[in-house]
Amino acid sequence: MEEPFVKTQIRKDENIVYKRTSLLVDRPLSYCPGCGHGVVHRMLMETLEEMGIQDKTIGVSPVGCSVLAYDFMNIDMIGAAHGRAPALATAIKRLWPDKFVFTYQGDGDLAAIGTAETIHACNRGENFTIIFINNGIYGMTGGQMAPTTLPGMRSSTSPYGRNVLTMGHPLKITELIANLPGVNYVTRQAVHTPNHVRKTKKAIRKALEQQKENKGIAFIEVVSNCNSGWKMTPVQSNKWMEENMFPFYPLGDIKVDGKLVQSSEVAK
């Protein structure tokens, strides 16, 4: 089939304004169509490329859908046990203070099994970046309820909807750790529209730059979709996310330069 509307005059290497970064390994991503993981991976790798720190970065990947993140990110990485990434990152950063260290974690990893490791790394004010992908469900294992699953939301282990009386309320871990003095920067972003993606990339850059100044934890939550787990199309899931996840997990800066942002829910 011939490609329509090709502009041979423009389609030259010198006219490229955007292409996939070489810091993403040249292979297909294993994520579902439309999944936010792919976008965050790309923004993170673009940022490392722009900062020129590929050779100074050590990443820690989780257990969850992004367990294979190390196959896609062209940097040295260590795969942690479920929930333990902040412990790994603590030791790595303390022993290699000049390296850039980040953890990349999902909602079960960071806010269920890894809650203690998350809270204590934040409390100690470690100097690495935590990237937290919150899609309110356990994707990799088949769509079970997560600590961040919304009240009434269906999952394979809450088939009649999350009942807060028996299953507890969604855990707003981000607001919890924002209160810790060891945490310097907390922000909640999304990646489902180009503008949101641009903001997320700025947040990632800010977080990594902060490591040069030893100011403590930078925590970026990305509220993302899981169209497979939520049983929708990607476009439908982004809409559902806007209508249901964002009111519960409002986007924006929560803590900047060690101070809670007054308009954020935590400060109120």
Q: Which residues 179-238 are close enough to bind other proteins by CB under 8 A? A: 191-194, 197-198, 233-235, 238
Minimum CB separation of residue 161 from other proteins in Å reads: 27
Q: How far apart are CA 175 and CA 199, in angstroms?
A: 20
Distance CA 131, CA 154 (A): 25
Contact stretch for other proteins (CB under 8 A) within 84-92, 157-165, 166-174, 212-220: 84-92
**8 A C-beta contact, residue 42 and residue 21:** yes
User: How far is it, in rounded angstroms, from Cα 94 to Cα 262?
Assistant: 32
259 touching other proteins, by CB under 8 A: no
CB neighbour class for 25 (10 Å; exposed up to 12, middle 13-18, buried from 19): middle
- Closest to 39 (Cα-Cα) out of 112, 127, 131, 110: 131
89 binds other proteins (CB under 8 A): yes
Instruction: For residue 226, give both structure tokens.
Output: 């899981």
Minimum CB–partner distance for residue 101 and other proteins (Å) = 9
- Which residues from 12-71 bind other proteins, rule CB under 8 A? 12, 14-21, 24-25, 28-29, 31-39, 42, 54-58, 60, 67-68, 70-71
By CB under 8 A, name the one of 51, 120, 182, 232 that touches other proteins.
120
CB of 260 to other proteins, least distance (A): 24
Specify the amino acid at residue 216: G
Q: Scan residues 130-189 and list those touching other proteins (CB under 8 A).
A: none
From candidates 51, 74, 248, 265, binder to other proteins by CB under 8 A:
74
